[in-house]
Amino acid sequence: MIKESRFLPINKKEMEERGWDRPDFVYVSGDAYVDHPSFGMAIITRLLEDAGYKVAVIAQPDWKDDSSIRIFGQPRLAFLVSAGNMDSMVNHYTSFKKRRHQDAYTPGGGFSKRPDRAVIVYSNLIRRTYKTVPILIGGIEASLRRMAHYDYWSNKLRRSILLDSGADLLMYGMGEHSVLEIAEALDAGLPVKEISYVRGTVFRCQDLSELGGDYQVLPSWEEINSSKASFARSFYSQYMNTDAITGRRLVEPYKEKEYIVQNPPSLPLTTEEMDHIYVLPYMRESHPSYDALGGVPAIDEVRFSLVSNRGCFGGCSFCALTFHQGRRLQVRSHESILSEAKLLTGHPLFKGYIHDVGGPTADFRHPACKKQIEKGVCGHRQCLFPKPCPNLVCDHSDYIALLRKLRKLPGVKKVFIRSGIRFDYILADHNKDFLKELCRYHVSGQLKVAPEHICDNVLKLMGKPGNTIYERFSGEYRKMNDRLGKKQYLVPYLMSSHPGSGLKEAVALAEYIRDLGYMPEQVQDFYPTPATISTCMYYTGLDPRTMEPVYVPVSLQEKMMQRALIQYRNPDNYQIVKKALLKAGRQDLIGYGKHCLIRPRPGGEKAPGRPGEERPRYKKDGGGTRQHESRGKGRTGKRKPIKNIHKKHNKGRSSL
């Protein structure tokens, strides 16, 4: 008897070695095959396998060759289609719409092996070959495009991806509950067109009388195309229906007798269900067929990391988590996480370092308040913004207990926290034990946090706390490290060109960076991805929460100016920074004073540095931006340590 592969079959030979004549499901993905629970493909396929179904994988098929989809023949029940862990358009293009040259989810990390709009292309490829087989689409790309949406790359509205893909059913959100319920229905012989009752799904409908009376009709496709205000109202109705308890059925009309119907979201996973997902028999590596190409780089980022939660009640306007995972926290038990950690310590590449313990927000380990458990999240109220809700439970004790247990495991030298943390949530916790333990045990010299901006009018639109909150956290963090005798510093993530940010705000941010004394290594230009409040603002010029007008920087030139201002010390940015300052009427920042951002350039020669200062070197990163590589040398010839820069910032800089 031939020993079967522990990976799921990726070709006909491996399928036959298992004794199958055909699979029940074929999972088609834009990612290379990585059997690790940080990859949606691995979770869904292993979950179906655990339920007794035969599942095969077609990873990154050649969409120009119809035969690439015929590897296993027609599956008994359905094709499952996903673009992969990332949206294919975000995977392929920077925020300036320039083509990326690397894809961490492709073997070797080179050019992507998936098409643009992968869900649509793969589904059409399947339908050309198999006319009647059910096609179920899911993953982040399908989830965020489940209804009509603004598409940044074509700069127009697009219909629900369910229509353009020709698929039969769309699963949105994380998908575990819905995929098992659909599989059971198909296995029982129910036609896919009759599977219209499953939570977390979207389907097509021709007769609304079949739905009963409990649904909300959104503005039609024609209405939202003719009025941006209608689109904003439609989007906000969808935003208000992302909770499993309070969410209603939504209906989006297209033409006569053509409707897209979104069922309420799937119920959150219980802790027991979360635990079960992580004990499935993952190989925790990319498929060995990729070894000759160097494997799949994306696994390197997560191989020694632990997922402890899902969902986020942070509510940042530019984040799509509300639409995809929801605001309700779902957590794994300590026992489950510790069990997985022990597996990591036995890995031959493990060096004693757990790289992360977290999720969307690492320090969230329970629902925001007790009310959410029975009544769902509040509709018109956020948990942390504009200030923490009086009902918010601010308690890090469970997370602290988990981290302490992980640190005690044999073979573990250090446990890092690299997922985002909410500094406003840390401040809201009157017990300072977590900040103390964070600084003492879980930071590697620098802690990355995301204030995003410093102008309160921009932060308000972002759904982020005011700048004084970040300043307060910065002070608390500094004091704690001083008390512990540690030299550890904050590295702020900053965003340019978010709706509400004009050149005035961009210059203010540059002045803040000047006073901080260093140039940020990472800068994110706002990226209008589907299904975020910020993207709705970008397209409509309206805040959908208030319907008030919002300034939006949309021209390529202004977006380049705002980004360059954040990295004004980069010599390559000199001309565009100068142009931005002149346009903003801030000639006072061009000169030789300490407050100036740039110096005058006589005759177009290269910008001089300060006396005795070596100009910083830069290196390109995968997104086409430049990252700080060296801090330059002072008069002594020694490299300036980042600690001195931060001490300069911390000496009572006036707030902006």
Q: How far apart are CA 445 and CA 457, in angstroms?
A: 32
Strands (E), 536-630: 542-543, 548-549, 618-620, 626-628
Q: What is the DSSP letter of 444?
A: B
For 573-610, b where at least 16 C-beta lie within 10 A, e where not — what string? bbebbbebbeebebeebbeeeeeebbbeeeeeeebeee
Contact by Cβ (8 Å): 144, 324? yes
Contact by Cβ (8 Å): 425, 363? yes
Residue 614 has what pLDDT?
Answer: 40
User: In the chain, which residues have pLDDT < 50?
Assistant: 1-4, 605-656
Contact by Cβ (8 Å): 200, 182? no
The backbone torsions φ and ψ at residue 35, rounded to the nearest 5 degrees and listed phi first, read: -95, 75
Residue 373 has what pLDDT?
Answer: 87
Residue 621 has what pLDDT?
Answer: 38
Q: What is the 3-state secondary structure (H, E, C) of 460-486?
A: HHHCCCCHHHHHHHHHHHHHHHHHHCC
- DSSP 3-state of 428: helix
Q: How far apart are CA 113 and CA 84, in angstroms?
A: 11
- Torsion of the alpha carbons at 386, 389, 393 and 399, rounded to the nearest 10: -10
The CA-atom distances, in angstroms, between 7 and each of 75, 286, 349 are: 18, 9, 20
Written as six digits, the tokens of 509 are 């941010």
| 210-237 pLDDT, tens digit each | 898 789 999 999 999 999 999 999 999 9
Q: How far apart are CA 409 and CA 43, in angstroms?
A: 26
Helix axes 503-516, 556-566, angle to 10 degrees: 20
Q: Which domains does the chain have, with CATH numbers?
A: 12-204+256-262 (3.40.50.280), 304-444 (3.30.750.210), 447-656 (3.30.750.200)
For 220-246, b where at least 16 C-beta lie within 10 A, e where not — what string? bbeebeeebebbbbbbbbbbbbbbbee
- Torsion of the alpha carbons at 495, 496, 498 and 501, rounded to the nearest 10: 120
The conformational region for residue 97 under phi > 0 = left, psi -120 to 50 = alpha, else beta, is left
CB atoms within 10 A of CB 30: 31
- Torsion of the alpha carbons at 523, 528, 532 and 537, rounded to the nearest 10: 110
Residue 610 has what pLDDT?
Answer: 42
| 363-406 pLDDT, tens digit each | 999 999 989 988 999 988 899 999 999 999 999 999 999 999 99
Q: How far apart are CA 518 and CA 305, in angstroms?
A: 30
Q: How far apart are CA 461 and CA 501, in angstroms?
A: 9
Q: Tell me whether the omega of the peptide bond preceding residue 107 falls within 30 degrees of 0, making it cis.
A: no
Contact by Cβ (8 Å): 56, 23? yes
Residue 420 has what pLDDT?
Answer: 87
| 504-532 pLDDT, tens digit each | 999 999 999 999 887 787 789 999 999 99
Strands (E), 389-480: 414-415, 446-452
Written as six digits, the tokens of 463 are 């759904």
Written as six digits, the tokens of 334 are 């300590």
Contact by Cβ (8 Å): 113, 55? no
